[in-house]
Chains A and B, each alone.
Chain A
Amino acid sequence: MNDIVKLGGILLLFSAIAGGALSVVNAITKPRIELQKKLVLERALTTALPMANKDAIVPVEQDNMLYYKGYKTPDKQDLVGYAFVASGKGYSSTIETMVGVDTTFTITGLSILQQVETPGLGTKIEEVRYGESTPWFQDQFVDKTWNGLAVDKDGGNITSITGATISSRAVTKSIHDGLKQLEATVRQHHSDM
């Protein structure tokens, strides 16, 4: 019995030391990790809304839709566009895309937030070709509106990735649907005002 207490004590001691050490490391890294998380979102938003000031993008929730409003200057007076997250089911995951549009609902930029598609196939939605600096698949969307937005196989204007039509379609369709909804929501809101 005594033995168990003693052994338990030693184990507890070690665990306590470990816990202590970890809480110190945690305290040091925590801000950094949170910063990283923020940076990811921030980077996505600035890619989506290149013309907006990075400190002047604010989240809005309306009619069950979460989107962002982007302003040109930090005083948030001159609205330049909106951003939202489109999500659609791809081949093996749900693909989430941050999409930015200007006030005429023409796409200004986008970036993939989340996808676990097949490497080499579905992941080509993020492929940056050698010698280029931006992903070619996503670049196609810029300057387009939801109208007619579809992959070529469905008769649309987006060249799909060979062998990954499902992923291409998921991105395209989710943006198409999301954009349509955003426009409706925003216009409704405007007319309310």
Chain B
Amino acid sequence: MSISKELFKGFYKENPVFRLALGLCPTLAVSNSVQNAVGMGAAVTFVLICSNVIVSMIRHGVPKKIRIPIYIVVIATFVTIVDLVMAGFAPALHKSLGIFVPLIVVNCIILGRAEAFAGKNNVGRSFIDGLGMGIGFTLALMALAIVRELLGDGKLWGIPVLSSGYEPVLIFILPPGAFLTLGLFLGFFNWLDIKMQK
């Protein structure tokens, strides 16, 4: 597979959220504003890239039996680094993402990529894979967040964009709105699929 294909597959064809249905909890939780979505996306992308690279580097030295615990240790390390750095340099974002920052550890996208890709490929490819998947995740989060923030708050990136007469549909930034938006997005992509196959 060419490098660009490797990179772009995560955007749509193998989009972790919309196509593989991975990492759904944080997707639902932090897509209530675009700022949160981008912050979370960046954090996950960073961890994905680093853990992919490290896992790929050590893949020959790790005994099969304990590879999962070791991957988890690697991932947890980078997650903690993100957590600490974010607390120090972007405290507002850190606060609004809450426990979903440490929860990146159990985000199945990351362990999934380590297991399915980085454990079997060289460092370069693993880096590209992590980057592509991370961007794909970020794009999905942003797509949801744009809809939710716009409808639910009348804003984008915290800036009011709809006229002041607009009465926001509050439910979109509440939990039901998260489920609904994701459900409709998934349905939309299925519909696209069915259309394209014809």
Contacts and interface: CB of A to CB of B under 8 A. Distances in A.
Interface of A: 6-7, 10-11, 14-15, 18, 21-22, 25-26, 29, 32-33, 35-36, 40, 118-121, 130
Contact of A119 (B32, B76, B77, B85): B32
A33 B152 CA distance: 32
Given A32-B88, A40-B91, A121-B170, 15 more contacts: A7-B66, A10-B63, A11-B66, A11-B69, A15-B73, A18-B76, A21-B77, A21-B81, A29-B84, A29-B88, A33-B91, A36-B87, A118-B174, A119-B32, A119-B170
Task: Identify whether the interface residues of B are mostly helix, strand, loop, or mixed.
Answer: helix
A66 B164 CA distance: 41
8 contacts: A7-B65, A10-B66, A15-B73, A18-B77, A33-B91, A40-B91, A118-B174, A119-B153
A92 to B, nearest CB: 11
Contacts of B186: none
Nearest to B70: A14
Contacts of A6: 63
Contacts of B91: 33, 36, 40
Interface of B: 32, 62-63, 65-66, 69-70, 73-74, 76-77, 80-81, 84-85, 87-89, 91, 152-153, 159-160, 164, 168, 170, 173-174
A3 to B, nearest CB: 8
Nearest to A40: B91
Nearest to B152: A120
B88 A120 contact: no
Contacts of A21: 77, 81
A173 B54 CA distance: 55
